[in-house]
Structure 1
Amino acid sequence: MYFPSKKDGWMGFLHLVILFLCFGLPILSGEWLWIFVIPLVLGIVNLLIWFRTGYRVEAEEVVIHYGPVTINVPIQEIERVGYMKSPFVGPALSVDRIGITYSASKFVTVSPRDQNGFVEALRRSNPHLILDPKR
């Protein structure tokens, strides 16, 4: 089951600013040819992050897509899931996140649009995971 990322408005604004800096400034400066390659790559990565961030709960794993990066989390290794608010870096486009602790000490945050549906999909595959209450 696929869960697209929730997207906060301020994150959208931040991505637009980054796109302007990557594409607009080099073109407007007139010196865009020699400084276009790096901004082009950064701009493409930014677009991939915005349009390709989402989470797929499969039978045995959660597949986290964050732009060009893919993270596989085995569902049976998930120990704890908790609702949280965090502006820090992670494969999420919202501060409303779910923290996933797995493999004894690994941690990742995700921001599915349907948080309750996402947690229920995890619990169907791993009924032993601990669910921290909403904060």
Structure 2
Amino acid sequence: MRYNSKRDLWLGLLIWLPITSGFLMSVYSAFITKEAITPFIVFTVILSFIAWIWFGTYYVLKETYIIVRCGPFRERIEFADIKSMKETRNALSSYALSLDRIQIKYRKFGYSLISPINKEDFIKEIEKKSSIKIVRRE
């Protein structure tokens, strides 16, 4: 089952406003004033990469593992490797587009932060497919 990432409005504004402004300024510079096309090319590549991450962040629950996808980045977490899961608002860089997150600790030192839109359904599915119980935020 696929779960898209929850997206915080403030985070979207923080990401999209500056990059869109820079892109529009590079369009103006390249095509209106005919000065430089290099900034337009650079901003087009950056904008494409950010769009890939923004629209390509999701989580897929398979029978024995979770696929975590964030644009070009991909991680596979086996249910058998999961040590614990807890709700968190940890702001570290992660595969999440919201601060309403789930921290998944796996193996010895690894962990991932994810933010599925329908967190309750996601948690229920994980608990059904594995022996993991999530620690609820208080």
Q: What is the distance in 2 between the residues matched to 1:32 and 1:12?
A: 28
Q: Identity of aligned pairs, percent?
A: 23
Aligned to 2:127: 123
2:67 pairs with 1:63: yes
Shift of 1:36: 2.5
Gaps of 5+ in 2: none
Gaps of 5+ in 1: none
2:36 pairs with 1:51: no
Measured on the aligned residues, the alpha-carbon RMSD in Å equals: 1.5
Aligned to 1:132: 135
TM-score (normalizing by structure 1): 0.90
Shift of 1:74: 0.9
User: Which one of 76, 86, 92 corresponds to residue 80 of structure 2?
Assistant: 76
Shift of 1:59: 0.6
Q: What is the distance in 2 between the residues matched to 1:61 and 1:38?
A: 37
SS at match of 1:36: helix
May I ask how many residue pairs the two structures share in their alignment? 134
* Contact 1:22 1:42 (C-alpha < 8 Å) held by counterparts: no
SS at match of 2:39: coil
Q: Which digits, 9 at most, give the CA deviation of each residue in 1:5-33, with x for residues without a partner?
A: 11111112123224314521211234341
Between 78-87 and 10-19, report the one with greater CA deviation. Answer: 10-19
Q: 1:70 to 1:18 in 2, by over 3 A?
A: farther
Shift of 1:130: 4.2
User: Which one of 38, 45, 52 corresponds to residue 41 of structure 1?
Assistant: 45
2:7 pairs with 1:3: no
Aligned to 1:96: 100
TM-score (normalizing by structure 2): 0.88
SS at match of 2:59: strand
Shift of 1:35: 2.0
Q: 1:56 to 1:32 in 2, by over 3 A?
A: farther
Q: What is the distance in 1 between the residues matched to 2:95 and 2:22?
A: 21
SS at match of 1:12: helix
Name which one, 1 or 2, has greater alpha-carbon Rg: 2
